């Protein structure tokens, strides 16, 4: 067990939500008596993570992923169950514990927009009490790794979304955390920036041995980075195993978008089991079983398309299929 860095047993989080019926009369009545309902955000999850693992935590919106991360980082306390992260009970929020992990959320920034990047990093150096020698060494490493030397003296507010996300990662990694929690780190980024972020995360995991837990709705993030995936739906862990086995079994279709320079109306396609999701003169979107993708592409090429894009099914669709067809499936 020496290499285990996170361990939970029967971890659960329940909330009470206030419910009020519509109307002034009911608003007045609620001053004396309120009705509550219980919501289970995380439902008795057992989890073991070893040092250096890069794990994908996936599921639809509201599945309980962010709640789980908040419990692992001590932001909220569990309702019941045991939790151990690096030998600490996270909700004690000891400084020694907080200095050993980092959190990056794609929709929330921890940067100071009025400061330059260098001044922001200097501020985090003081927060984490990093020795000057270690600070300079880490900063130089990450500046070279992310290729951002020419951005260090500019205000954070002037950075593009992709540049800002690189800085979010540098700020989070400057103190050499043992665990990095990433919540949708590539949200809103273009394909080039997303690919760069994935490359950096892979290098940090391999060279520094940083344990990474990644939540993402983008299939490419999970498939490119994570050998192991954990699927959560309605607070329940329904899958914990190899990522490739997960998608081989439950990702059944692909989405093909084809565009044309000239209007194209009738396309007599012979490929079986093809569903048309969008049918316009200059653009058509198809859903096709993954084993028939090559056959459909060969047909579409006969119509001289301007562009063809092949995409994976969304994670939400895969999760729903796991829940509907597989129940709790362990790979």
List the domains of the chain with CATH numbers: 4-249 (3.40.50.300), 253-312 (3.30.70)
Question: What per-residue confidence (pLDDT) applies to 252?
Answer: 85
Question: What per-residue confidence (pLDDT) applies to 326?
Answer: 53
Residue 327 binned pLDDT confidence (cut-offs 50, 70, 90): low
Range 68-75 average pLDDT: 93
pLDDT: which is higher, 210 or 313: 210
Q: Cα separation of 26 and 32, whole Å?
A: 10
Average pLDDT, rounded, for the chain: 86
Q: Cα separation of 222 and 228, whole Å?
A: 9
Shortest CA distance to 314 belongs to which of 238, 235, 228, 253? 253
Q: Cα separation of 233 and 308, whole Å?
A: 33
Question: What per-residue confidence (pLDDT) applies to 86?
Answer: 95
Report the percent of the chain where pLDDT is more than 70. 95
Q: Which range in 29-43, 83-97, 219-233, 270-284 is most confidently predicted, on average pLDDT?
A: 83-97
Q: Which range in 37-41, 133-137, 261-265 is most confidently predicted, on average pLDDT?
A: 133-137
Q: Which range, of 11-20, 115-124, 166-175, 250-259, averages the lowest pLDDT?
A: 11-20
Q: Cα separation of 113 and 156, whole Å?
A: 5
Find the helix or strand (DSSP H, E) in which 237 lies: strand 236-242
Ramachandran region, residue 187 (left: φ > 0; alpha: ψ -120 to 50; beta: rest): beta
Find the helix or strand (DSSP H, E) in which 247 lies: helix 243-250
pLDDT: which is higher, 226 or 2: 226
Other C-beta atoms closer than 10 Å to the C-beta of 2 total 6
Question: What per-residue confidence (pLDDT) applies to 106?
Answer: 66
Q: Which tokens is 142 given?
A: 């990450």
pLDDT at 41 exceeding the cut of 60: yes
Q: Cα separation of 150 and 324, whole Å?
A: 50
Each as own residue / partner, the long-range contacts of residues 249-253 (CB below 8 Å, 24 or more positions apart, any chain) are: 249/326, 249/329, 249/331, 250/318, 250/321, 250/322, 250/325, 250/326, 251/219, 251/290, 251/312, 251/313, 251/318, 252/289, 252/290, 252/313, 252/321, 253/287, 253/288, 253/289, 253/290, 253/313
Q: Which range, of 58-72, 230-244, 313-327, averages the lowest pLDDT?
A: 313-327
Q: Which tokens is 110 given?
A: 């921890």
Q: Which residues of 28-66 are buried (b: 16+ CB within 10 A; e: fewer)?
A: eeeeeeeeeeeebbbbebebebeeebbbbbbbbeebbbb
Shortest CA distance to 226 belongs to which of 264, 198, 193, 192? 198
Q: Which tokens is 176 given?
A: 């050499």
Range 103-116 average pLDDT: 83
What is the DSSP pairing of strand 54-58 with strand 228-233? parallel
Find the helix or strand (DSSP H, E) in which 13 lies: strand 4-19
């Amino acid at each position: 067990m020496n290499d285990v860095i996170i361990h939970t047993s029967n971890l659960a989080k329940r909330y009470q939500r206030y419910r009020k019926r519509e109307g002034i009369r009911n608003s007045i009545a609620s001053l004396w008596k309120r009705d509550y309902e219980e919501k289970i955000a995380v439902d008795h999850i057992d989890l073991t993570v070893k040092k250096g693992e890069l794990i994908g935590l996936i599921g639809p919106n509201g599945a309980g992923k962010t709640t789980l991360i908040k419990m692992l980082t001590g932001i909220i306390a569990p309702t019941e169950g045991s939790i151990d992260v690096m030998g600490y009970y996270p909700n004690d929020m000891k400084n020694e514990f907080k200095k050993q992990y980092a959190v990056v959320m794609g929709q929330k920034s921890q940067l100071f927009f009025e400061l330059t990047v260098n001044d922001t990093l200097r501020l985090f150096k003081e927060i984490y009490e990093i020795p000057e020698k270690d600070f300079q060494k880490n900063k130089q490493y990450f500046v070279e790794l992310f290729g951002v030397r020419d951005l260090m003296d500019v205000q954070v507010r002037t950075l593009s979304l992709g540049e800002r996300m690189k800085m979010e990662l540098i700020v989070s990694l400057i103190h050499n955390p043992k665990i990095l929690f990433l919540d949708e780190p590539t949200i809103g980024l273009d394909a080039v920036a997303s690919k760069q972020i994935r490359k950096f995360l892979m290098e940090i995991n391999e060279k520094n041995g940083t344990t990474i837990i990644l939540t993402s709705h983008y299939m490419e993030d999970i498939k490119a980075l994570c050998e192991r995936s954990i699927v959560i739906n309605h607070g329940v862990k329904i899958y914990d195993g190899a990522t490739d086995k997960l998608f081989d079994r439950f990702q059944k279709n692909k989405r093909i978008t084809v565009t044309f320079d000239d209007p194209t109306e009738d396309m007599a396609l012979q490929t079986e089991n093809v569903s048309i999701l969008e049918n316009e003169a200059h653009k058509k979107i198809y859903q096709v079983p993954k084993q028939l993708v090559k056959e459909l592409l060969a047909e579409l090429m006969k119509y001289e398309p301007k562009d063809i894009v092949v995409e994976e099914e969304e994670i939400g669709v895969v999760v729903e299929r796991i829940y509907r067809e597989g129940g709790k499936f362990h790979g």
